Structure 1
């Protein structure tokens, strides 16, 4: 490993220049005007794969932006690590809030500033340089590797499910390694082994054929806003538990080992309360803040609309009201089943005098790799070696449906070893990546390949 570490140090300047080149490409997947840039970024990734020593590289077409593939399969009897990442980035707006132009990378205070620096070009680049370091110093890799780098993650990966299904044999491996999640905090390397899923609905409540004068009709016609308020209030009890029938039927409980690991993180709930400026934290009784936000399901009202929204008062009885709801799901909850249960609950709680429709929206399955899986524990050891401190084992409260896609279709364990920090402004102006984590992350990724070679 010393040769590999020395290679990173000796080539740091030239590698960062290459990273700047990659970050200079405005590969914004959401904007059709940047389609040529998407092609340029895909070609750049393929060229970097070839330079690193990967074989069978290809820019593979999809129904949208292409996927870039490459592999090296010359380690007989050793596991195969599949790397996933994305080369597309978020729009840079509002550009005027950037201190330096978003696609003119700038290094200051040992941070590199650019759109995509941390999400996810910088971390994809680290994977490529890890391969290059082994190939340049040892002329071989300790494991077999495959790369799948897509160009649509920032728009929801609409074509990736079909791509993975179509190419499942090509992409098959023994572990999926992803660097696109944040560390717990500065100096605290983190292995994420689970993500929550998602189920979203919109509730539309309709009453009279049009808005009515509340003096003429109030008290004689059902008010859709009142009906909506009743429906929404019926979804939780006073202790924060969700009251939708059957909502918790499939929920897998945390293991004692997981609960101990979360407790050992010594998370400061009071600091969070003060930072958020709320009188107290709130949630399902019997669980800590981390358990509630990482490993318990939720039902949240994301927005409500109805009636007069302007300044002052308009004495109107509105004809319609609506609300948007999303649920974060945990293993083994099924988003389709949850939508069915939500719909049944709404229908059961609909007051007289109104008509209610439920429309499903975003869905994504939760995933978890067992906490004690060798691929997860290997990640912890690799991070501890690189950072010189014990790694945190976490789940994430958010949802990344593409990870569940790989988990389900390829049936592989997933290790999420991200090196960004929550404070690095991904999706916001002045996105940046701490070079401390770039350096230590390279070492951790190299250590992980060695760990997997011997322990999977």
Structure 2
């Protein structure tokens, strides 16, 4: 990486941060229909940002849902192409009262940028744009052709993107795909993510009597929908968290002993995690470490449960309706549609008397595991080490990026997950933030990667 390119990044740091703050002010919450226009506004902002960076093509491309942003720069002498993927949509902000500052009024404290989307994924996507801009502004060219695909539905499972990628396979043809939407191991501990868990999600609706009933007149004679729901949910896991749905673990690909030994070399994570989360004990099925629980084991979690009277004081009713939201994180060897069907069958078989149960499926995504023998992975680890001064390790991530498996199947190119967030940055939670140390080092790492990659 030339000293002039590095100097450009340093000279324009405040201007770039001001631009990122402007981006973060847009409440592009894809899950909420009230924010549909905000999501589109964010897409339009990305288009203008790509144009400002010097790309020759930057445009909105419509989908049945929120639009995709596509950008491109190419030169006839370049023989290879890098595709960069990211997303401009963000998670809802609830519970908003737990934020220390308004989620869409970005603030910087202690060299941390606080806002919804700061780390997931506006900040990390923005870094790629600025890296490309720096090379184009200083050198007037790039060592590779580049394409950007920035979507607005990642936080709702990318429902429109599978079809988009298949339909535009030729447009997206590249030699490698880069994504920054994953964390490093910790402060000063870079990592290349080689695996993602998949996802399936369901809503469970339990209905008892035709309406809420007086608990004095009917209590003891009629099933309570909330009690029935709690009883039903309790059948899904045992006391250690092992999932009791028949067939749930069929086909699960266990990590190799070599991989498990590699995780052990990362050090004891349990005490650090308890301290970070403020809990006295960790939880999980026997025989696996905390890292393995979150990286290579599947889960079933109740994310929300509600029904009956929610107001102040007491209302003595037997609720007619009760609801729960469930998500599963899936590992290689599991299919989201199959797992959803198994859970639905389990719920049907264990439904308590006196109620009916219906389910609705929502987000889904397949797990992904990358081979690491492509030379780009070596370039990535070397680039991290050059900037951070520490060797980068291969890790997995417990979260999901649903479209990654689609990219793998449709485009058949190496997928490199080079993230710069920290696990403690409150993705999806109040007070999401991005450490500016990793913002700065991240751009430098990306520039080093581009400068040294050989395909």
State the Cα RMSD in Å: 3.5
Query: Residues 328 and 135 from structure 1, CA distance in 2 versus in 1: closer, same or farther, beyond 3 angstroms?
Result: same
Correspondence 1:242-321 to 2 at 5 A: 242-308=243-309, 316-321=317-322
Change (3 A) 1:110 1:8: farther
Structure 1 alignment gaps of length 5 or more: none
Task: Report deviation, 1:266.
Answer: 1.1
Q: Does 1:206 align with 2:207?
A: yes
* Structure 1 residue 263: Cα displacement: 1.4
> Alpha-carbon deviations, 1:381-418, whole Å to 9, x = none?
22112211022322222222233332333233322212
- 1:390 alignment counterpart: 391
Q: Which residue of 2 aligns with 1:38?
A: 42
Q: Which residue number corresponds to residue 353 of structure 1? A: 354
Match of 2:168 in 1: 167
Contact 1:203–1:357 (CA under 8 A) maintained in structure 2: yes
SS at match of 1:359: strand
SS at match of 1:243: coil
Distance 2:295 2:170 in 1: 32
Kindly report which structure 2 residues correspond to 1:370-385, keeping only aligned pairs within 5 A, or say none: 370-371=371-372, 374-385=375-386
Deviations 1:413-447 (A, max 9, x none): 32221223344466677765434323322232133
> Using the alignment, how far apart are the partners of 1:20 and 1:409 within structure 2?
37
The TM-score, its normalising length taken from structure 1, stands at 0.84
Note the residue ranges of structure 2 that are not aligned, 5 or more in a row: 30-34
Which residue matches 2:72? 70
- Higher CA-based Rg: 1
Change (3 A) 1:12 1:107: farther
Cα-to-partner distance string for 1:18-70 (whole Å, 9 max, x where unaligned):
442353254433424547743651342231342xxx44444434443341311
Residue aligned with 1:164, SS: helix
Whether contact under 8 Å (2:177, 2:414) holds in the other structure is yes
Hey, what does 1:439 align to over in structure 2? 440
Deviation at 1:319, TM superposition (A): 3.4
Matched, 1:124 2:116: no
SS in 1 for 2:73: strand
1:188-207 pair list within 5 angstroms: 188-207=189-208
**Partners of 1:451 and 1:441 in 2: CA distance:** 15
Identify which range, 226-235 or 323-332, moves more after superposition: 226-235
The question of 1:21 aligning with 2:39 is answered no
Q: How many aligned residue pairs are there?
A: 447
**Cα distance, 1:89–1:48 mapped onto 2, change above 3 Å:** farther
Asked if 1:85 corresponds to 2:86, the answer is yes
Pair 102,348 (structure 1): closer, same or farther in 2 beyond 3 Å: closer
* 1:272 positional shift: 2.1
CA shift, 1:273, in A, is 2.2
Q: 2:336·2:364 contact (CA, 8 Å) conserved in 1?
A: yes
Mapped to 2, the partners of 1:39 and 1:232 lie a distance apart of 40
**Taking structure 1 as reference, are residues 360 and 22 closer, same or farther at Cα in structure 2, changes over 3 Å only?**
closer
* TM-score, L = length of structure 2: 0.84
SS at match of 2:244: coil
